[in-house]
Amino acid sequence: MDEDVIETQPTMEMKEEDLSIRTTRISDTSEILGLVEQDRTELANWLPDLGKILSIADAENYLKSHWFENPDTLSDCHSFVILSDKKIVGMIGTTKHSLTNDIYLEYWLTPAERGKGVMQRAVSLISKKSLSIPKVSNVFIKVQVENQASANVALRAWFRYKRTNPEIYVDGKLRIFNYYVLSKDDTVAKEQVE
């Protein structure tokens, strides 16, 4: 897809106080590359595709492969930047399962922003948007069992543990994942409690 076309397409943005999430833009590549360089070792373990971004061209190709023409439906997969005080501090991706219409999330946050509730708020925002889409009933988060910090994000955002699966991951290694789910019914219960 042409870079100019991507930059002029509609952008989806979600906001809550000083936090916002918006679809990625090609103009984000140098900032994303800088953040990846600061956290490459961690990313290589948890999100190998992001850890492989070594240049501006790699970052552009990654963003182009995670960008589709209608961000409002979260169809297929999308990549979003997380901004805190208007500064990119992480990313969150969505993938829509073609048969079940379930949406799967993956996320990453810079070390300086961890432990502040930023990712929990970002996951809650994108989950709320995801569950507002017709035919989407569930949002899943797939977390390696060793990644307790990501599991805690899911649990604090009202996701429930669903199952554990061993899988061959994109890096070719066998890894064990826990799946967490948030359904439309869960969000109704959450709103009643809050």
Global model pTM greater than 0.85 = no
Question: What's the average model confidence in pLDDT over 88-97?
Answer: 86
- Which pairing describes strands 103-109 and 138-144: parallel, antiparallel, or unpaired? parallel
Q: What's the mean per-residue pLDDT of the chain?
A: 80
Answer whether residue 42 shows pLDDT above 70: yes
Q: Give the CATH superfamily of 3-138.
A: Gcn5-related N-acetyltransferase (GNAT) (3.40.630.30)
Answer whether residue 168 shows pLDDT above 80: yes
The predicted pLDDT at position 68 comes to 52
Helix axes 118-131, 184-193, angle to 10 degrees: 120
Q: Map tokens 């492989």 to a residue.
A: 52
175 vs 187, more confident? 175
List, in sequence order, every residue forming a beta bridge with 4; answer none if it has no partner: none
The predicted pLDDT at position 167 comes to 87
List, in sequence order, every residue forming a beta bridge with 77; answer none if it has no partner: 95
| Secondary structure percentages of the chain, helix, strand, coil, to 5 | 40, 30, 30
Alpha-carbon gap, residue 174 to 184, rounded angstroms = 32
Contact (CB, 8 A) for 179 and 141: yes
The predicted pLDDT at position 50 comes to 66
Q: Name the range with the highest mean pLDDT among 17-31, 46-60, 84-98, 144-158.
A: 144-158
Alpha-carbon gap, residue 70 to 111, rounded angstroms = 31
Alpha-carbon gap, residue 174 to 152, rounded angstroms = 23
The predicted pLDDT at position 67 comes to 57
DSSP summary character for residue 9: S
The predicted pLDDT at position 181 comes to 96
Alpha-carbon gap, residue 182 to 164, rounded angstroms = 16
Contact (CB, 8 A) for 82 and 88: yes
Question: What's the average model confidence in pLDDT over 102-130?
Answer: 91
